[in-house]
Structure 1
Amino acid sequence: MRRRWRWVLAGTATVALVLGGPTAWAYSASSGRIVEPDEAPETDVALVLGAGVRPNGQPSRLLAGRLDVAAELYHQGVVRVLLLSGSVGPGDYDEPGTMRDYLTERGVAPEAIVEDSSGNSTWDSCLRARDVYGIHDLIIVSQRFHLPRAVALCGSAGLNVHGVPHNSGESNPPGTRLGYLRETAARLPAMWTALVTSSNAASDAAPDPSVSDALDVEAPTTADEDSTQQAGHGAPNARQGE
């Protein structure tokens, strides 16, 4: 009996180490890097990670929440360009295209949007932001339960990154629990990637100037902004209250 309890205790300790170690890594690596939308530092680019498209072609609830935060950051002048990273599947499944349509319907200028249709994982999106689009500083927009891993991974890729959450998952307890369970399982391979393989990792895709081209688009002058606001169109390109 005593021997059996030793095995039980050893197994419990192993599970705690396997699950607890990666979680501690993710929260430690992202410490101080996850901020609310009104605390986000001004950064040229926000990376919005895909989170599924409904059969009717609309973004999932989680994805719509991320896009709402991204649109808020854009309209408040916190970011200038939105990099939409997701996958394209069979038929009409197109995460970046769906994200673009949702954002333009909410007043984001098409020239401020760049679609990345090869963002098949969080790590892929981080590498492609760095190697394909030449980004060094960015904001990641996702749910709070996903951000520790996302920020830690992009940080291990050498990016200066902050995460801005949308709390849509928090208002749906079953969805929140499922999200945290998935994240707990995903953190072990993420930690391995960050600590073991990240130093030699690189995207083999050709450089894409779309982000730099979007940043080169001339920003509206102060006079243009004032006249636009007086006409009642659009949103000021500066944070409210500053």
Structure 2
Amino acid sequence: MRGRFGAVKRWYGKRRRFVRYTLLALVVGAVLLTGGTVASVAWIRGDAEGHLYSEADVPDAPVALVLGTKVDADGTPSPFLAARLEIARRLFDGGKVRAILVSGDNMNADYNEPAAMRRWLVDRGVPARKVVLDHAGFDTYDSCARAEQIFGVTHATVVTQSFHLPRAVALCRRLGIDANGVGDETAKRYAQTWRVSSSREHGACLKAALDLVSGRDPAHLGRRETGIDDALRSG
């Protein structure tokens, strides 16, 4: 034991400066990361302030932008996603929106969030011509950027869970959409999932700020699509 301690002591003696600088760099990095996260959360919340509404009070908009999340293996929207879709359905039925853009991940042929979202809405009475699919909404930034750049959305009501809503609305507004938002609270009954997802928002806000500062393009762009124009023109 004494021999091992002596070996560690000799190793540290030879590398003392390196170890100290490494520890200092880790501490400084942690401080900067914490500070950046706090600043990002404040920035996101500031941009979203005044644009978060209850379902009853949200102003009318041409389009509801529903952000995707998990779809089960059988193609059924998860409870979190179904709750978002239910809000969008009620907004449409109530005349508060005239078209619904469902944006999510279609990573492969066996996983298709937008198709599942459209099917859920159509099965509950929303006309298929009023539901437009964005298959490349790989994250919130991409969904907002593509809504404006690819689908020509300039005014929308964003629908997601309430913990996610400030980031989604802030991103859309920074990316050129006059966006308000309605957040779901019913999924709180899934307490553990809600808690874990909420805790991730701090890191997600930092990523959102970095995306905005970098001005990155979405992972997939492509040509301008007229689906929303067509849906708004249709009777």
Equivalent residue, structure 2, for 1:217: 234
Question: Following superposition of structure 1 onto structure 2, how do residues 49-198 of structure 1 map, counting pairs within 5 Å?
Answer: 49-194=67-212, 196-198=213-215
> Is the alpha carbon distance of 1:185 and 1:107 closer, same or farther for their aligned partners in structure 2, counting shifts above 3 Å?
same
Q: Distance in 1 between matches of 2:111 and 2:59?
A: 33
Counterpart contact for 1:131–1:203, Cα < 8 Å: no
Distance 1:10 1:118, change over 3 A: closer
TM-score in terms of structure 1 length: 0.81
Please give the per-residue CA displacement for 1:31-81, whole angstroms capped at 9, x wherever unaligned. 011101101111110010111110121001110010000001000000000
**Any conservation in 1 of the 2:66–2:85 contact (CA below 8 Å)?**
yes
Which of 49, 55, 80 in structure 2 is aligned with 1:31?
49
Q: Which residue in 1 is equivalent to 2:13?
A: none
How far the C-alpha of 1:21 sits from its partner, in A, is 1.2
Q: Is the 8 A contact 1:127 1:202 kept in 2?
A: no
Retained in 2: the 8 A contact 1:86–1:96?
Answer: yes
Deviation, structure 1 residue 12: 7.2
Letter in 2 for 1:181: S
**1:80–1:112: 8 Å Cα contact kept in structure 2?**
yes
**Matches of 2:220 and 2:73, distance apart in 1:** 31
Report what 2:225 is aligned to.
208
**What value does the CA root-mean-square deviation take over the aligned residues?**
2.3
Specify whether residues 90 and 10 from structure 1 end up closer, same or farther in structure 2 by C-alpha distance, changes over 3 A only.
closer
Cα distance, 1:12–1:132 mapped onto 2, change above 3 Å? closer
Say whether the 8 Å CA contact 1:81–1:214 is kept in structure 2. yes
- The number of residues matched between the two structures is 212
Distance in 1, matches of 2:67 and 2:118, equals 12
Contact 2:136 2:220 in 1 (8 A): no
For 2:167 and 2:225, the matched residues in 1 are separated by: 26
**SS where residue 63 of structure 1 aligns?**
helix
Larger radius of gyration: 2
User: In 1, distance between residues paired with 2:59 and 2:123?
Assistant: 25
Q: Secondary structure at the match of 2:202?
A: helix
Distance 1:15 1:197 in 2: 17
Secondary structure of the residue aligned to 2:52 is coil
